Each structure stands twice: as structure tokens, then as C-alpha cells.
Amino acid sequence: MITKKSALAMLLLTSAAICVHHYKFKNKVRVRRFKTRPMNRNRKTEGQYHSLVNSMLHKELDYEQYFKFMRMSPGVFNYLLDLVGPHLQKDRRGDSLSPGHRLAMTIHYLAEGCSMQEIARGFRVGKATVHVIVSETTDVLWAVLMPLVLPVPTTETWKEIEKGFYLRWNMPNCIGAVDGKHVHIQSPKYSGFIWVLMAVCDAYYRFVLVDIGGAGSQHDSVVFQNSGFGMALLNNTLGLPEPKTLPNTNIPFNHYLVADQAFPLHENIMRPYPVKWTFPKGNRKFCTTGLMDHLDENGILEAGTWHNLPCNLPSVGRLGSNNPSRSLQAKRNILAEYFISQEGCVPLQWEYVLRGSLPD
């Protein structure tokens, strides 16, 4: 007969055995079957870096296929290797991969978007090695290229960008275009599946400022206000030039970013006028005579027949508050009036507006 005391002893021993087994399993050292997997031992003869890449460069001289493989020319790759190569150099002893090998693996991974297992098979290295190399190389690329490609803009930089927007797009005092891009990613731990790339570009589509990592569930205006350059702009610490007069006028106006309706109207952010509604594409029809309100020949307003039509527009409810002050609306009106004035308009805009409305 099992007594209460013996039952408790058995339970205690069982619990201890489970704890010891769990501890040994958790701290178990993985036994490697190979120092180097057999298929990876022929890396220098069958791996893509030694066989395919070098063959395209030195044997076939097929630069077109090289560009498809790397998404860059050999000259650009060599220039990039000169910049980051010293930071990628590992121990020269043993079978360590060269900086060119590491960079080629990372560039091909970024260009193709394939799995790391595919990279491992193609370059004849272990999958865990690919993870480490891609992570280390991308960190080096950011650290080395960021000061060269994305330096912190100065007041002179903003002035150069403003000149580009005026010369190319006829937009005076504009220092950039801002927008957000939702990027689908493999979900990291404790994060969503979508990150937001918030960026400011110049007149030639080149990045000037970037912020990466905003949650995809957040509105673009929220991501912008929480970004580093967004807070700097809203707090007037971005180093923008002083306001200057619009060309061919004596009207002073701030330098501004151009944005869509997702962004707030601000002294340094100009967005379009809000659109109340649009007709569905399949239901667009021409307005017949008398449909809209109009003035008769005596200047008296006559109601159109649209008042008698049934209204089936569903209510969209409250979409949030984005009501700019009257002073900001006045600034936008000044800019809008400038673009249709004799001083600020270009012939192309009237041709675009009046297209199809006049007989040939």
C-alpha cells in the first residue's frame, strides 16, 4: 500500500528527474557531423562566386548577365568593395571568405530577394553563415555609405534642392517631396508584418531624409510626426533657409515640403486642397444642360435639376481632425493663386486643364 509520504517522495523524484532532463536538453551542445559539409568543400570550384561571377567577368565577359545578377555594373561593385572591403576583412588564416565573396553574397541576396537557404546552396556555404554574413555586411554598408549618400542636410543643401525644384518642376521655395511607403517584411518578434519607409526626395527622386521602422498600422501623418526629421521640421530645427519672395513678386513665402492629403498643413508643409467626394469610375457621366445650378442671361441664379435626384451617398462618419488654422489656409491660397497668376503659371498647365474641352 502506497502511503501519503511515499507518494510525495515519488512526485518529488519525478519532478527532479524532469528538471535534470530539461536542463541537459537545454544546455546540450550540438554535435557537428562535419567540419565542412561535403557539398561546401568544393566552394572554390563550384560556388557561384568563383565559378559564375568570375566567369562572367573574366571568361565570357557577359556584363549584361552580371548586371542582372548583381543589379550593378562591375565598376560600381569594385568601387563599393574598395569602400567596405577593409571592414569586411576577417582572419586571413583558414578557409575564411574574402570581402568580395561576402559582399557578392549580400548584394545578390538584396537584389534577388531569394531565401538564405538558396544563397547557401548557390555559394556553397552554411545557412547560418549566410545569416551572419548578410547581417554584418548590411551593417557595414549602412555605416560606411550613410555619411556619403545620406549626409545630414545643411542650409546650403536645402537651397540647392530648392533650385532643382524650381528649374525642373516650376515650384518655388520647395525643398522636397515627402511620402510614406508600406514595406511588407517577414514578421520579426513582437512586431507587425509591415514597416513604413518615410522619406523626403529632391527634384531628381533622390533620397534626402529617411526614417525606417514605423508601424504599418499607423497613419502616415503619425509616422511622420514621430520620425526624427518630422519632429525637427515641426520644431523648426531642420536648418531650413529663411523665407524668400516668390519669383517675379514681392510676396515672402516659407520654404516647404510638398505632400499629399495624409500630411498636415503646416508653415513648411504644403498639401492639396481636400477632396470631398469623387464619382465611381463606372458611373461617371457628362452633366446635361440644366443639371447644375447656373446663372441665366439676366444674372439670376436658377436651381439645377440635380436637386430632384435621389441622393444615395453613404455617410462616412467622422474620419478624424485635420483642420488647419486660417493663417495656414491663407498661405496655401497664396501659393495656389501664384501658380495661376501671370508670374507663376506655365503654358503647359493650361493645355492640360483645357485638354478635350475645346474643338480642334
The domain locations on the chain are 38-148, 155-270
Evaluate whether 158 touches 240 at the Cβ level (below 8 Å).
yes
The mean per-residue pLDDT over the stretch 186-200 comes to 73
The mean per-residue pLDDT over the stretch 287-308 comes to 70
Whether 316 shows a pLDDT value over 70: the answer reads no
Name residue 323's amino acid. Answer: N
The mean per-residue pLDDT over the stretch 186-198 comes to 70
Evaluate whether 233 touches 257 at the Cβ level (below 8 Å).
yes
Give the range among 90-99, 117-126, 288-297 with minimum mean pLDDT: 288-297
Q: In sequence order, what E strands does 2-159 have?
A: none
The DSSP symbol for 316 reads -
- What pLDDT is attached to residue 358? 52
Distances (CA, A) of 125 to 51, 81, 294: 14, 20, 76
The mean per-residue pLDDT over the stretch 116-122 comes to 87
- Higher-pLDDT residue of 306 and 199 is 199
pLDDT band at 282 (very low <50, low <70, confident <90, very high): low
- What pLDDT is attached to residue 6? 55
Output the DSSP codes for 3-14: -HHHHHHHHHHH
- What pLDDT is attached to residue 82? 93
- Higher-pLDDT residue of 54 and 150 is 150
The β-bridge partners of 256 are: 174
The rounded distance, in Å, linking the Cα atoms of 81 and 95 is 20
Whether 214 shows a pLDDT value over 90: the answer reads no
- Higher-pLDDT residue of 318 and 194 is 194
- What pLDDT is attached to residue 299? 62
The DSSP symbol for 266 reads B
The DSSP symbol for 350 reads H
Give the range among 176-190, 203-217, 270-284 with minimum mean pLDDT: 270-284
The rounded distance, in Å, linking the Cα atoms of 352 and 340 is 13
Whether 60 shows a pLDDT value over 60: the answer reads yes
pLDDT band at 267 (very low <50, low <70, confident <90, very high): very high
Residue in 103, 31, 37 with CA at minimum distance from that of residue 72? 103
Contacts of 264 (CB under 8 A, 6+ apart): 221, 271, 322, 324
How buried is 107 (Cβ within 10 angstroms: 0-12 exposed, 13-18 middle, 19+ buried)? Answer: buried
Task: Indicate the pTM of the whole model.
Answer: 0.66
- Higher-pLDDT residue of 200 and 17 is 200
pLDDT band at 18 (very low <50, low <70, confident <90, very high): low
- What pLDDT is attached to residue 276? 58
Whether 258 shows a pLDDT value over 90: the answer reads yes
- Higher-pLDDT residue of 349 and 6 is 349
Handedness of CA 339, 341, 343, 345 (dihedral sign): positive
Give buried/exposed letters for 249-287 (b at 16+ CB in 10 A, else e): eeeebbbbbbbeebbbbbbebbbeeeeeeeeeeeeeeee
Whether 38 shows a pLDDT value over 50: the answer reads yes
Residue in 190, 192, 198 with CA at minimum distance from that of residue 217? 192
The counts of H helices and E strands in the chain are 13, 9
The mean per-residue pLDDT over the stretch 134-148 comes to 91
The rounded distance, in Å, linking the Cα atoms of 82 and 49 is 18
The mean per-residue pLDDT over the stretch 35-63 comes to 77
